[in-house]
Amino acid sequence: MMWRCLAETLVVAIDPGKIVNRVWLASGERGLIGEPVSLPTLRAGVEELARLVARSGVPGAPVIAVEATGSLHRAWTAELERRSPVVSVCLLRRRRRRRGRS
């Protein structure tokens, strides 16, 4: 039962940038939904993301994963949480490689 819920969940992955954010939409059932898109970091980008989520055809609230990149992720994360406090927003951090290791 739990796996079925996960398969039917929309996952939105966001890689924040200074001018545009790269966005991927996927579900366990359908895999990648469309091609990755670049959305402006301004309000128009958040509004386009809302339209993409609505048009995805995946029922229920999405899980949104945002790479934690210093201050670049904060504006979108705050706006997404303000618009939909029910939506899960996860911050992901990349592991830094230590110098001298490959």
- Is 99 within the bounds of a domain? no
- Phi, psi dihedral angles at 80 (to 5 degrees): -65, -40
- Is 102 within the bounds of a domain? no
- Is 100 within the bounds of a domain? no
Q: For residue 78, what are the domain limits? A: 2-92
Q: What is the pLDDT of residues 43-78, one digit of tens each?
A: 899 999 999 999 998 888 888 888 887 778 788 888
Residue 9 structure tokens: 């969940």
- Is 13 within the bounds of a domain? yes
Say yes or no to pLDDT of 1 above 50. no
Give the CATH number of the domain where residue 45 resides.
3.30.420.140
Q: Looking at the whole model, is its pTM more than 0.85?
A: no
Give the model's pLDDT for residue 62: 87
- Is 68 within the bounds of a domain? yes
- Is 98 within the bounds of a domain? no
Helix (H), strand (E) at residue 54 = helix 43-55
- For the chain, how many structural domains are there in total? 1
46: helix, strand or coil = helix
Q: What's the pLDDT band for 39 if we cut at 50, 70, 90?
A: very high
State mean pLDDT over 83-102.
62
Say yes or no to pLDDT of 90 above 90. no
Q: What gap in Å lies between CA 97 and CA 102, rounded to an integer?
A: 8
- Is 77 within the bounds of a domain? yes
